[in-house]
A = this chain, B = another copy of it.
């Protein structure tokens, strides 16, 4: 479509450094919680969508890229997966993906903003689906950084950090003290996972996250994929362990049990996504 004939419809845009990404739609909710501006829209393309502080978080028909990429490399690689900690993840998508794994017995989900959960349950029920009623899911409205700091050593098999960009309520989820606590409360053979920003739109932060986590845990690698809603559409997740690159190798029985339910993830895709590290990032990491 030519620029001169741009439709006159309503557009909801995220602005980032001279680039904007917008969905056509209507704003349903736009409110200020204790922590952030929460906006829920109805889009023509991806169904209902969620923005926090004007940044795209998720949308009903555009969320599997993010959630499958964050969850399955961790859950397929850890030695045990009985006990899981999710920090953030208030839309419910991460919990839903975790619960595809039958071995899970207990999830602590620590979300700082109760309104994100309440509004997601009401307006984006396809994100959390039955996870909200699952007795294995224990939701705590609490500060994830404090939760990690207060947890006992070797508590969790897998820790998944599902937060927004390193500013506002999520800022502390990207610093050393928090990562050290995560390492401490992880069981032997456990895996730590976090979203780690775009190598294109947040290059310095991306490199810093990987280097810091690698130093603290011993083993850490980024995985690259696509999240069309996020700045540049090119996103990353970083996985870490203390004993080996165990997150690179999905356990066969777990992989087989979830493959049919995944839209993006497969063992082959995961192998590719870990290798698809761009040359400019690889050079920077080897410095």
Taken together as a complex, chains A and B put the C-alpha atoms of A276 and B282 apart, in Å, by 18
From A22, A234, A279, residue with most partner B Cβ within 10 Å: A279
**What is the minimal beta-carbon distance from A44 to any residue of chain B, in angstroms?**
4
Contact of A2 among B43, B53, B276 (CB under 8 A): B53
A11 CB contacts on chain B under 8 angstroms: 20
* Interface size classification for chain A: 35 or more
Q: Given A232-B228, A269-B275, A275-B268, do A43 and B21 touch, yes or no (CB 8 Å)?
A: no
Segment 12-65 of A: residues with Cβ below 8 Å from B:
12-25, 37, 39, 43-46, 51, 53-54
- A264 closest partner in B (C-beta): B278
A19 touches B24 (CB 8 A): yes
**What is the minimal beta-carbon distance from A26 to any residue of chain B, in angstroms?**
12
CB of A273 closer than 8 Å to a CB of B: yes
> 10 new A-B pairs (CB below 8 Å) besides A18-B43, A20-B20?
A2-B54, A11-B20, A18-B24, A21-B21, A224-B226, A224-B272, A226-B232, A226-B234, A266-B278, A268-B275
